[in-house]
Amino acid sequence: MTMPVTSVTKDPETLTLTLVADFPVPRQRLWEAWADPRQLERFWGPPFAPATFTHHDFRVGGRAEYFLTGPNGEKWAGSWKFTAVNPIDSFEAYDGEDNADDENGPVSMTFAFDDTPTGSRMTSVTRFASVEAMEQTVPGMEEGLRAGLPQLDALLAEPGTAAADTQD
């Protein structure tokens, strides 16, 4: 299995972390993995802290609520408020709305999905409130994404998924 992450770019001037990942499946299949909370929880958290989604209202104004469970049973809550949902193309969300007092957390996330000659590409842009917030958050976030996205690759490769039905 190849690593899906093709680039990670940190830009302190624009306060963004941009991650690009390529997958050998149609864009529709990639979108479905994000739209279905049972699939999403199989890759959102890294293997050492899997995610459980307790709510996933994937529409503008809707919320997703989840928690990560660490190896010793510790739990970290997270949530997103969806500000844009364009099926198969992109979605945007405010991150960490439950942690509004944490000025070091990410501010917003945009996920865009595009067709490629070999399948589809996901481009994720996370925006931060300050350089300090970036410096504090990005190392752990990047580690988590690099650990979590191969799980998405594995999920998409499973036989019997929608990918097998939509692949030409």
pLDDT at residue 165 above 50? Answer: no
CB 124 within 8 A of CB 27: no
Which of these, 58, 23, 2, lies nearest to 166 by C-alpha position? 23
Q: Which amino acid is at 89?
A: D
Task: Give pLDDT tens digits for 120-158.
Answer: 999 999 999 999 988 988 888 888 888 888 899 999 998
Of the listed ranges 70-74, 86-90, 146-150, the one predicted with least confidence: 146-150
pLDDT given at position 106: 61
DSSP bridge pairs for 108: 94, 127
Whether the predicted pLDDT of 167 surpasses 60: no
> What confidence category does residue 111 fall into, taking pLDDT thresholds of 50, 70 and 90?
very high
The DSSP bridge partners found for residue 55 are: 65
Give the domain 5-157 fold. Alpha-D-Glucose-1,6-Bisphosphate; Chain A, domain 4 (3.30.530)
Give just the sign of the alpha carbon dihedral 43, 70, 3, 143: positive
Structure-token pair, residue 43: 């890759």
Write out pLDDT tens, residues 19-66.
999 999 999 999 999 999 999 999 998 899 999 999 999 999 999 999
**Are residues 4 and 137 in contact, defined by beta-carbon separation less than 8 angstroms?**
no
Q: What is the pLDDT of residue 90?
A: 98
φ, ψ dihedrals at 83, nearest 5°: -105, -15
Q: Where are the domains of the chain?
A: 5-157
3-state secondary structure of 115: strand
- What's this model's pTM, rounded to 2 decimal places? 0.86
